[in-house]
Amino acid sequence: IAAILANVRARFPALADIEVDEAWGAYVDSTPDAVPVISPVDGISGYYLAAGCSGHGFGVGPGIGFLAAELIANDKPSVDPHPYRLSRWSDGSKIEVGAL
């Protein structure tokens, strides 16, 4: 944080007097292909996973929740859930990195 603040102050002289009141950091859940997982977990009956949103969960959370609810209720999904299946990591699928 100190290094970032020093760089900001150096690059933007008008901000020379700014101070950081608080700082916070944590892990961001992400999958290696940057595509979230929204699917049942094979081998664990009734267990569903909706994770790996790479920090975008705040924006896409309602859609992820809606699709997860459809899957859990065994309703017809409003979008194709295939790209979001957890089994893509173990079923031999070619993994392609999504938009980052």
Q: Could you report the per-residue pLDDT of 68-84, keeping only the tens digit for each?
A: 999 999 999 999 999 99
The more confident residue out of 54 and 93 is: 93
pLDDT of residue 56: 77
Q: For the chain, what are the domain ranges?
A: 26-87
> Residue 9, Cβ neighbours under 10 Å: how many?
14
Dihedrals phi, psi of 68, to nearest 5 degrees? -60, -45
Which residues touch 18 (CB under 8 Å, ≥6 apart)? 5, 8, 9
> Residue 37, Cβ neighbours under 10 Å: how many?
21
Query: pLDDT-based confidence at 10, cuts 50/70/90?
Result: very high
